[in-house]
């Protein structure tokens, strides 16, 4: 009889659970993130698709394995601190297992045949454990230790069990391939696979091939253990994350009939992107030389927004279309088209933002295109709805293409864009697609280690204004690094804009493409302040073996938090907004912020760029705290030491920041000259040829 | 090279004594486990995830002396004053961009590098923009909304900015102006 937890507060509130998976699927499952999401990954191609965007867990689930016996996935729930069963709808059911280890696990797998779930943690107090999953067994759901984690000592991020020989296998961060006898716990190093990194996802196929996914870049390697080869061979590229775990029905073959030589669009699927939606797609075999821009990537399925592979891998093939002018309703616009060869171009803009490319959205009809860089004039109709929308462009030898459906050759490229009102000028900072960086130390009023990576945010802004003032502010950003144990939030004040100026009903703010649960503009304030996050650790995670998020060697991953805000005004506002606005770090309310404070300083604690005034929420008395701060508010001097050193910097590029604990002056030797000359010398101190790469974080 | 391993058992005391910052790996005793990274709070005698600090890498930045009024500004504000006789009778659109190469009489421009885009009326475009310090020139393009009229290009040099005391309109008399007549 299945045992369920009897304490309702610990259970995921669900009166009936969904069925197990109905088959042993060939696809691999990849569960990622501090708030777990699960993807299906085609190991042949690396193509991936979201299966479960919200597994309704407030923490991660890790150490996952697929049980071919009952066709459930089992894993270790960090929310419940014990094993859990994942159902076919990806709901998580905690199991009534007595956690004799008193610790959580991220290394685990289910044996393909003996109905046991194995977990491992290094250390003498921990080790290799197994949990009986056979409901008929007398030791059902009992956790027993096979061996201690000192006798079996491995620095690994996942393991997988080989159905061909019943051994467990794992690859360490330095590439050591471990073989584990699951009966005795004896482990040995077979070889070095020739690759390093955090391998957080591991899978087997029936032939004894081990597949390992590397966290920082999503590379999938195959190790042909069954054939006696221990060298990792790059097999495919998948999604990256610093919290990764893989599960797979190891008895299902990997090979299939996947067709990969196709180009798909990346717009949200409402526009027809996925194959099931008859998404726009172009075959790449007939004329490999015909594409927009300078490259096209082949895939077996769309990576529809927000999963666009152009954001997640290093090859962005959306490079054939540029908007030379703003897109303004009731006027002409100029679009630059680059092509590798001749063909016919069709294009659409979703003018009414209804999520579809309708007939009236078409702007380009079978336009002959050559390989020259061409300026194409298009009419933007009256009544085009100002705001964010999508566009699609298709090049092919075939004419009469619709916005969806297949084409024998060429390429489709989808672009997000913003339709502007008439008479509006838009200032982009640092540019339409560029990034600036704001980097913080979070130990104010005490000096930190000047690695300037306690918080690193990439930002860009777009301010739309007419001759009466600012009409809308757009802010986009990415949380690049959190090299800090304190819990901090991040916000941006809009100088000169009042809370009352904002059209709050029309404010659009998303994190990772999703709306948020809090009011984007901080309530109870006179000023307009965009609250990006009250606690950045809600969205980013450290990953296995790491203390921080993307600041330590070997702890890379994709960016885990991206945000976007459109803040319209009720009426144009006379204000002069600096490009980077006034970004600041603040202490998460209720969170401890070091022994310097007797109580949590909370929202009243802020860290700003040097000489940037704090907000009205700042606790002014903090300027009187003992420490290294030498602010002189009567002279407009803020957030600097006696020597004029800052706690925050803006760097006008997508900055490569120092690795943990390394001073910015060591990573960037010209920084000192720049600082002490007040910018007269070495103004390009952050240029790539001026760095000491030994001290730069490499993802 | 002297190194020290930081374990969760000792990091709290280090933070108080030296003010090293919150990037010393210590656990937060007031936070719930739900808010913390995956690293577990474990007894000091058991294995914890550790970091290494190279103590000979003493922060050299601390030894610097920087002018109080220097705000590490990374961009300069530039005023734009275009007044084109040839554009008096046709509406046009102006784009100013930082990434470009000259291609004969024209320019090959990366329009994703534009810092400002807006309408020009009666040949006049008056505005301002911020350009980051790494750029020493920009190109302006005037696109006429009549497709029979070719675009006009003009490149402007931007001097390396002088040391600025403030990044604000108060220093308007120190701002660069790009003018096109």
> B54 at the A interface (CB within 8 A)?
yes
Mark whether A488 and A363 lie in a shared domain.
no
Q: How confident is the model at residue B8 (pLDDT cuts 50, 70, 90)?
A: very low
Contact criterion met (CB < 8 Å) for A675 and B72: yes
Tell me if A36 is assigned to some domain: yes
Residue B44 has pLDDT above 70, yes or no: no
Task: Give domain status of residue A9, yes or no.
Answer: no
Residue where a domain terminates, one of A200, A215, A247: A247
End position of a domain, from candidates A394, A420, A446: A420
Cβ <8 Å between A443 and B68: no
Q: Are residues A196 and A302 in the same domain?
A: no
In a domain, A343, yes or no: yes
Same domain (yes/no): A396, A502: no
> What are residue B61's phi and psi, to 5 degrees?
-60, -30
Residue A120 domain-assigned (yes or no): yes
| Residues A206, A271 within the same domain | no
Asked if residues A290 and A32 have their Cβ atoms less than 8 Å apart, the reply is: no
How do the domains of chain B map onto residue ranges? 3-61, 75-159+171-180
- Comparing A18-32, A150-164, A587-601, B73-87, the range with the smallest average pLDDT is A18-32
**Rg from Cα positions in chain A:** 27
Residues A533 and A661 in one domain: yes
Identify the residue among B18, B46, B61 best suited for mutation to test binding to A, counting A beta carbons within 10 A and taking the highest.
B61
Rounded CA separation A96/A141 (Å): 7
Check CB contact of B100 with chain A, cutoff 8 Å.
Answer: no
Q: Supply the CATH number for residue A357's domain.
A: 2.60.40.10
> Which of A557, A51, A676, A208 lies closest to B38, judged by CA?
A557
B75 touches A at CB < 8 Å: yes
Strand order of the sheet with strand A28-32?
A48-52, A37-41, A28-32, A244-247
Q: Give the pLDDT confidence score for residue B160 in this predicted structure.
A: 54
Token pair of B8, please? Answer: 């969760």
Q: Are residues A491 and A524 in the same domain?
A: yes
Q: Does A681 touch chain B (CB under 8 A)?
A: no
- In angstroms, the CA B140 to CA A54 distance is 47
Contact B37 A541 (CB under 8 A): yes
Q: What is the spatial distance between Cα A600 and Cα A329, in angstroms, rounded to a whole number? A: 51
pLDDT tens, position by position, A530-569: 999 999 999 998 877 789 999 998 888 889 999 999 999 9
- If asked whether residues A56 and A106 sit together in one domain, one would say yes
pLDDT at position B57: 42
Using CA atoms, how far apart are residues A310 and A332, in angstroms rounded to an integer?
29
Domain that holds residue A606: 426-695
Q: Whole-prediction pTM value? A: 0.79
- Name the residue in chain A with its Cα closest to that of B19: A446
What SS3 class is residue A397?
coil
> Are A341 and A463 in a shared domain?
no
Is the domain of A199 the same as that of A63?
yes
Three-state secondary structure call for residue A329 = coil
A321 lies within 8 A of chain B by CB: no
Please report which residue ranges of A465-583 form alpha helices under DSSP H: none
What number is the ipTM of this complex? 0.79
Set of chain B residues whose Cβ sits within 8 Å of the Cβ of A667: none
Residue A76 resides in a domain? yes
> A216 near A208, Cβ under 8 Å?
no
A136-150, A283-297, A526-540, A578-592: range with lowest mean pLDDT: A283-297
pLDDT of A194-214, one tens digit each? 999 889 899 998 889 999 998
Closest CA to A518 of A528, A532, A504: A532
Cα separation of A460 and A282, whole Å? 33
d(CA A120, CA A129): 6
CATH number of the domain residue A163 falls in: 2.120.10.30
More confident residue, A247 or A33: A247
Give me the total of CB pairs closer than 8 Å, taking one residue from chain A and one from chain B: 302
Statement to judge: residues A202 and A309 lie in one domain? no
My answer on whether A616 and A664 are in the same domain is yes
Q: Residue A4 falls within a domain, yes or no? A: no
Residues in chain A within 8 Å Cβ distance of B115? 427-432
Share of chain B above pLDDT 90, in %: 46
**Can you tell me the mean pLDDT for A383-395?**
94
List, as ranges, residues 6-45 from A with C-beta within 8 Å of B.
Answer: 34
Q: Which residues of A touch B166 (CB under 8 A)?
A: 611
Within 8 A of A679 by CB-CB distance, chain B residues are: 70, 72-73, 133, 161, 163-164
For A615-629, write each residue's pLDDT tens digit: 999 999 999 989 999
Q: In which residue are the tokens 């077979």 written?
A: A190
Q: Is A368 on the interface with B (CB under 8 A)?
A: no
Q: Are the beta carbons of A431 and B33 separated by less than 8 Å?
A: no
Q: How many domains does chain A fold into?
A: 3
Examine the fold and report which residue of A404, A420, A436 is the final residue of a domain before the chain moves on: A420
């Amino acid at each position: 009889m299945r045992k369920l937890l009897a304490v309702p507060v610990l259970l995921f509130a669900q009166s009936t659970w969904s069925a197990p998976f109905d088959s042993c699927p060939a696809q691999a499952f990849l569960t990622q993130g501090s708030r777990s999401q699960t993807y299906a990954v085609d190991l042949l191609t690396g193509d991936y698709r979201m299966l479960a965007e919200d597994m309704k867990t407030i923490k991660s689930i890790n150490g996952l394995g697929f049980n071919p016996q009952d066709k459930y996935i089992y894993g270790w729930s960090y929310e419940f601190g014990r094993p859990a069963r994942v159902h076919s709808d990806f709901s998580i059911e905690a199991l009534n297992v007595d956690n004799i280890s008193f610790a959580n696990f991220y290394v685990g797998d289910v044996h393909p045949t003996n109905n046991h779930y194995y977990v491992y943690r290094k250390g003498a107090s921990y080790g290799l454990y197994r949990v009986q999953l056979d409901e008929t067994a007398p030791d059902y759901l009992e956790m027993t230790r096979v061996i201690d984690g000192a006798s079996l000592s491995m620095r690994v991020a996942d393991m997988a069990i080989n159905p061909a020989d019943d051994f467990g296998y794992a690859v360490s961060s330095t590439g050591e391939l471990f073989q584990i006898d699951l009966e005795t716990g004896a482990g040995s190093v077979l070889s070095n696979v020739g690759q390093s990194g955090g391998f957080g996802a591991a899978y087997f196929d029936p032939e004894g091939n081990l597949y390992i996914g590397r966290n920082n870049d999503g590379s999938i390697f195959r190790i042909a253990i069954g054939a006696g080869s221990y060298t990792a061979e790059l097999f495919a590229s998948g999604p990256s994350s610093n919290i990764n775990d893989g599960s797979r029905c190891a008895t299902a073959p990997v090979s299939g009939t996947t067709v990969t030589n196709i180009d798909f669009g990346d717009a949200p699927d409402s526009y027809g992107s996925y194959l099931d939606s008859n998404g726009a797609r172009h075959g790449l075999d007939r004329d490999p030389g015909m594409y927009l821009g300078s490259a096209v990537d082949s895939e077996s399925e769309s990576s529809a927004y927000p999963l666009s592979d152009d954001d997640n891998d290093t090859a962005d093939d959306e490079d054939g279309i540029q908007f030379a002018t703003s897109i303004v309703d009731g006027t002409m616009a100029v679009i630059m088209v680059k092509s590798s060869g001749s063909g016919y171009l069709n294009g659409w803009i979703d003018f009414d933002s209804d999520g579809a490319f309708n007939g009236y959205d078409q702007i380009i009809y079978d336009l002959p295109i050559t390989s020259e860089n061409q300026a194409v004039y298009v009419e933007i109709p009256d009544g085009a709805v100002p705001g964010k929308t999508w566009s699609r462009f298709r090049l092919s030898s075939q004419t009469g293409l619709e916005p969806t459906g297949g084409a024998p050759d060429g390429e489709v490229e989808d672009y997000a864009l913003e339709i502007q009102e008439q008479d509006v000028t838009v200032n982009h900072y640092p540019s339409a697609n560029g990034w600036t960086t704001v980097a913080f130390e979070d130990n104010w009023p005490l000096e930190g280690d000047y690695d300037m990576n306690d918080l690193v945010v990439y930002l860009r802004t777009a301010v739309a204004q007419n001759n009466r003032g600012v009409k809308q502010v757009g802010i986009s950003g990415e949380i690049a690094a959190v090299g800090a144990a304190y819990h901090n939030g991040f916000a941006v004040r809009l100088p000169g804009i009042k809370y009352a100026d904002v059209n709050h009903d029309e404010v659009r703010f998303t994190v990772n493409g999703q709306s948020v649960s809090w009011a984007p503009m901080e309530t109870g304030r006179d000023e307009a302040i965009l609250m990006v996050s009250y606690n950045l650790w809600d969205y980013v995670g450290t990953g296995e073996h790491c203390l921080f998020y993307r600041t330590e060697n070997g702890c890379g991953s994709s960016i885990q938090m991206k945000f976007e805000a459109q803040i319209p005004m009720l009426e144009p506002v006379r204000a002069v907004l600096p490009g980077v606005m006034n970004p600041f770090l603040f202490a998460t309310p209720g969170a401890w912020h070091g022994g310097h404070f007797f109580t949590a300083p909370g929202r009243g604690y802020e860290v700003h760029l040097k000489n940037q005034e704090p907000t009205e929420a700042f606790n002014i008395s903090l300027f009187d705290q003992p420490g290294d701060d030498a602010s002189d508010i009567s002279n407009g001097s803020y957030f600097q030491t006696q020597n004029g050193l800052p706690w925050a910097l803006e760097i006008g590029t997508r900055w490569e920041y120092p690795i943990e604990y390394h001073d910015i002056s060591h990573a960037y030797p010209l920084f000192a000259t720049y600082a002490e000359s007040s910018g007269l010398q070495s103004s390009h101190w952050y240029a790539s040829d001026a760095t000491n790469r030994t001290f730069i974080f490499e993802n | 090279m002297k190194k020290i391993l930081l374990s969760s058992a000792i990091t709290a005391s280090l933070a108080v004594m030296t003010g090293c910052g919150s990037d010393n790996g210590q656990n937060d005793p007031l936070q719930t486990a739900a808010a913390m990274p995956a690293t577990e709070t474990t007894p000091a005698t058991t294995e914890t995830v550790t970091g290494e600090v190279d103590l000979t890498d003493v922060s050299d930045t601390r030894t610097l002396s920087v002018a109080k009024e220097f705000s590490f500004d990374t961009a300069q504000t530039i005023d734009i004053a275009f007044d084109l006789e040839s554009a008096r009778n046709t509406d046009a659109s102006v784009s100013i961009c930082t990434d470009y190469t000259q291609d004969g009489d024209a320019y090959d421009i990366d329009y994703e590098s534009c810092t400002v885009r807006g309408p020009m009326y009666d040949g006049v475009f008056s505005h301002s923009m911020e350009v980051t310090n790494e750029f020493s020139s920009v190109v302006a393009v005037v696109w006429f909304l009549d497709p029979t009229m070719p675009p006009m290009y003009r490149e402007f040099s931007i001097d390396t900015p002088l040391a600025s005391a403030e990044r604000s309109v108060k220093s308007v008399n120190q701002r660069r102006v790009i003018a096109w007549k």
